[in-house]
Structure 1
Amino acid sequence: MSSRAETPVIQIQGLSKSYRVYQKPEGLWASIRGLVSRKYREVNAVRGVNLEVERGEFVAFLGPNGAGKTTTLKLLSGVVYPTSGSATVMGYVPWQRHMAYRRKFALVMGQKNQLWWDLPAQESFRLHQQIYRIEKRDYDQTLGELSELLEIGRLLSQPVRELSLGERMKMELTAALLHSPEVLFLDEPTIGLDVVAQHRIQQFLREYQAKRKITVLLTSHYMKDVAALCKRVVIIARGEIRYDGSLSGIIDRFSGQKLVTLLLPTITDAAPLARFGEIVSVELPKVKIRIERSQVAKCLAEILAQYPADDVAVEDPPLEEVIAELFTEVADKQNAEEVAAAAK
């Protein structure tokens, strides 16, 4: 007899959030008239999102600026109310703000500070202990574990304002995890950090999630965060989910091209190769060409028939490039629609 499948930790059905934004007119008289008759436009931050996340998943939630990523996390953490639709996290409706739910999740926003600026981080941690009513034994054990993993023991008594950006983010993560949440929402946790700090945060999150099996929903503009941490990727654009699948599947779906690198010892001029595709770089005898995926075999056959090659490499374009092209396409489409609407 087969066991019943476990209910997803996060369940979202038709979730939408829109705002009315005041359109402030230009000019003095227009502004005065606006005091009497105001014009608003509706902004759809999230449009009918449907999503399920299983227990223990580490999911990347990607999209361009204004796509609805942060709004979705705020909805799931109960910070804002939806316009329509429903969502549950661990069986709780987030915006009902049950105390029991607050004890089971954490939200970390890379651009927001939850620690007291002029006090040592350990003072803010003690406040969190009281807010979440963490037993002293559990608090000491968890803080010790996090301090060791993040290597922050020597910094606990130092005022937060004296810490580097990377050190502050470690403290933010520690504060968020003191009550051992089952679900963690991360909004740009490595924003502004240098490469070394990014790597250390990635390493910590990977180790902590693997050990605790918590469910994590991550937004980030750094594809290295995504590649290092997430097997599943959800792409949202203009408030709607455009992709939900594996990291490797993004390239298969959204990139119709391959990068072909050739080492041609007899070539003296790469210009004739432009008929096969876009020449990306030339460092003779090495030439890199972007070729349509469906034409790679045919083009290679023609090139190799004309030039002897010491080496040939065919690879997918970088993930960052594919994502950037997708976001640019969405932005161009949105701009065109806005121009058309304004012309009516």
Structure 2
Amino acid sequence: MIEVSHLRKTFRVARRNAGFSQAVKALFHREYEEIEALSDVSFSIGEGEMVGYIGPNGAGKSSTIKVLSGILTPDGGECRIDGRVPWKERAEHVKHIGVVFGQRSQLWWDVPVIDSFELLKEIYSIPDDLYRKNLSRLTELLELSQLLRTPTRQLSLGQRMRCEIAASLLHSPRVLFLDEPTIGLDAVSKLAVREFIKELNREEKTTVILTTHDMQDIEALASRVILIGKGKILLDGTLDDIRRGGESIDEALAEMYQELKI
């Protein structure tokens, strides 16, 4: 399903010191720093797997997801999802994936949610019968009936995230990328989202890659975890591979980050 081999990605970032004089100096002579977001990243994920992709801030999680979804082009390495190279066959690739970024919306801000869904139907060229079937099912499972006629800007964060997940699944993708999908949600909304993702994976065999700092999400959903730090894969295994005794997963990860200095 997903084959990633020796991915590399470097960003060129401008740097300057504080102060007006430094700002003027930067107009004529700008200093740059090379940031290696991904360094020789390799892994494979089978169809129907639910994988937690974890690591500290700046580890390379979101960069990986953006490469896998075709948003970024890597500097080197290979990636194939269902036989397609995401950044080379993007138009065809996006027909088969769903992406949820917890801090970015794919819904139009000033129109009712159902209007955004209708626009996405046209963008993805979803057949009418499939669209009606998926909309009905998602509305029921995610409890959206009272939200569809509400403009996105008037939704709470938890309500919006439920709508974002529905929007990413209207076209029945085979792969779902979830980047911080429960960020800022209350306990009830988190449980609802987790249960929905588990049911989706169980019934549709959807492959799910989940990036989050909430280890309860990982424990509830993922049978396998991939730990990344400083752009490199540090561990690929189960939660028990991270735990070293009776400690919680958060404590175990904190100790591991300190030992690895990431």
Tell me how far 1:119 sits from its aligned partner.
1.3
After superposition, the C-alpha distances for 1:210-256 in whole angstroms (9 at most, x for unaligned) are 110011110011111001111000000111011001111211xxx3x
Tell me how far 1:194 sits from its aligned partner.
1.1
The answer as to whether partners of 1:129 and 1:179 remain within 8 angstroms in 2 is yes
Partner of 1:36: 28
The answer as to whether partners of 2:98 and 2:175 remain within 8 angstroms in 1 is yes
1:90 matched to 2:82? The reply is yes
Cα distance in 1 between the residues matched to 2:258 and 2:23? 34
Partner of 1:102: 94
Partner of 1:201: 193
Partner of 1:321: 251
Cα distance in 2 between the residues matched to 1:326 and 1:214? 31
The answer as to whether partners of 2:70 and 2:90 remain within 8 angstroms in 1 is no
After superposition, the Cα gap between the structure-2 partners of 1:29 and 1:317, relative to the gap in structure 1 and judged at 3 Å, is same
1:238 matched to 2:230? The reply is yes
Tell me how far 1:33 sits from its aligned partner.
3.4
Picking from 217, 226, 233, the partner of 2:209 is 217
Tell me how far 1:124 sits from its aligned partner.
0.3
Picking from 123, 139, 148, the partner of 1:147 is 139
Partner of 1:186: 178
Partner of 1:135: 127
SS of the residue aligned with 2:52? strand
1:66 matched to 2:58? The reply is yes
For structure 2, the residue ranges without an aligned partner over 5 or more in a row are: none
Identical aligned pairs, as a percentage?
Answer: 42
Moved more, 90-99 or 206-215: 90-99
Counterpart AA for 1:113: S
Larger Rg: 1
Tell me how far 1:87 sits from its aligned partner.
0.7
Tell me how far 1:29 sits from its aligned partner.
3.8
Counterpart AA for 2:202: A
Counterpart AA for 1:15: L
Tell me how far 1:167 sits from its aligned partner.
1.0
Partner of 1:125: 117
1:77 matched to 2:69? The reply is yes
TM-score by length of 2: 0.96
For structure 1, the residue ranges without an aligned partner over 5 or more in a row are: 1-8, 259-315, 335-344
Cα distance in 2 between the residues matched to 1:122 and 1:326? 45
Alignment of 1:248-327 (within 5 A): 248-251=240-243, 255=244, 258=245, 316-327=246-257
After superposition, the C-alpha distances for 1:136-163 in whole angstroms (9 at most, x for unaligned) are 1110011101111111112211222222
SS of the residue aligned with 1:142? helix
Cα distance in 2 between the residues matched to 1:226 and 1:17? 26
Moved more, 97-106 or 204-213: 97-106
Cα distance in 2 between the residues matched to 1:84 and 1:130? 34
The answer as to whether partners of 1:110 and 1:187 remain within 8 angstroms in 2 is yes
The answer as to whether partners of 1:17 and 1:45 remain within 8 angstroms in 2 is yes
Tell me how far 1:35 sits from its aligned partner.
2.9
SS of the residue aligned with 1:103? helix
Cα distance in 2 between the residues matched to 1:88 and 1:154? 40
Tell me how far 1:327 sits from its aligned partner.
2.5
The answer as to whether partners of 1:59 and 1:217 remain within 8 angstroms in 2 is yes
Partner of 1:25: 17
Tell me how far 1:90 sits from its aligned partner.
1.0
Q: How many residues align?
A: 262
After superposition, the Cα gap between the structure-2 partners of 1:146 and 1:324, relative to the gap in structure 1 and judged at 3 Å, is same
RMSD: 1.3
The answer as to whether partners of 1:61 and 1:219 remain within 8 angstroms in 2 is yes
After superposition, the C-alpha distances for 1:8-64 in whole angstroms (9 at most, x for unaligned) are x11111101111111113444444333333221110111110010001100000000
The answer as to whether partners of 1:25 and 1:34 remain within 8 angstroms in 2 is no
Cα distance in 1 between the residues matched to 2:161 and 2:211? 15
Tell me how far 1:165 sits from its aligned partner.
1.1
Cα distance in 2 between the residues matched to 1:99 and 1:162? 32
SS of the residue aligned with 1:94? coil
* Higher RCO by CA contacts (8 Å cutoff, separation 6 or greater): 2
Partner of 2:239: 247
